[in-house]
Structure 1
Amino acid sequence: MGSLGTRSRQDPGPPVTRFLGFSPSRSGSSTAGDTVPAPPPVRRRSSANYRAYATEPHAKVGRGASEGTLMLQIAKQELEREAEERRGEKGRALSTRCQPLELAGLGFAELQDLCRELHARVDKVDEERYDVEAKVTKNITEIADLNQKIFDLRGKFKRPTLRRVRISADAMMQALLGARAKETLDLRAHLKQVKKEDTEKENREVGDWRKNIDALSGMEGRKKKFEG
């Protein structure tokens, strides 16, 4: 009994060590120098407090916004680069087509000839511009006409709105069969005939209920009941 008591005092057991926050060492001793602190308890992600731990969706939203901003910046840079390329191409085309004039050492007559030549070139370019504009206008008109034709063709195959029209059976057969619909269709031939009940006769037999009560009241009425 004494050994068991000393053993229980020396070895408190796993529950006591877990409660105190210490775990026994590898050698099995429970001294303060050999103890290692227990890891903190793991908090489970329940459905109630899941939003407190769910930081990943917020991170995804922020990453998506940053990616969208980066894409807009890249698109803006690409547009600026394309505009710069267009300006460069325009400058190169103008430099090759519009060469600088050499007016040094030209007399009055030569300058007049140069002006006439330039005016002729301007008139020729203006005529070419007019022809190109006429072709573009014609193409635009043709495209609009073709689009209208396509729209009309699509409209032909649309189901029209139907209206209720009163039509007889003979007219319906005539419209469906045409000249073959010679015989008239009697729709009442296959119907079941029901005889109307003679309600007037029943009303005459029933008569006024007050008169019936008066007739059956008293001794005479009792006699009629027994006789009937």
Structure 2
Amino acid sequence: MLMLYYHLNKPFFQRKSKISASRKLMLKSLMVAKAKEDLEQELEEKEEQKLQYLDEKSPPIHTSGMSLAELQKLCEELHAKIDLVDEERYDIEAKVMHNNREIKDLNIKVLDLRGKFKRPNLRRVRVSADAILRSLLGSKHKVSLDLRANLKSVKKEDTEKEKTVEVSDWRKNVEAMSGMEGRKKMFDAAKGLNQ
């Protein structure tokens, strides 16, 4: 009976892999080695193609034994070639920028089609204690709580008196009272108290 249950519910049991762990590791290392060789070979081919292109487009220049007129003509030819290369480079840059823009637009369309959007920044919402209790307890919540009722009341007069006392920096007092001006201020203050 257990065997019949096992055969009917194969997806629920985890199957053992047929390849051992050491064999998997060996195959993985072989694949990595092959990929590394392919990458090196591709880099060498790209370098060879680059050298061939440079040899075709810019052959070595022999300026020895040339007259001034020939050198000027050679410079003009080189400037013309440079202009052509700059035009090609500009065209290719424009194509690349256009393609990048298209890729970006297509990526946005793909995301829209998949239905995956960026989450907007959430705003903080002020919720009263009654609303929280109503959402948690549902219809059971009947009593409204006034949380401010249990707070200690403070008289405004006491707070205003405390605010009038200011702590000043003692260094400013010392600087202000030093010298003749400070002595005069002290003298005037003492004179005002006596009257």
TM-score by length of 2: 0.45
Q: Highest CA radius of gyration, 1 or 2? A: 1
TM-score by length of 1: 0.39
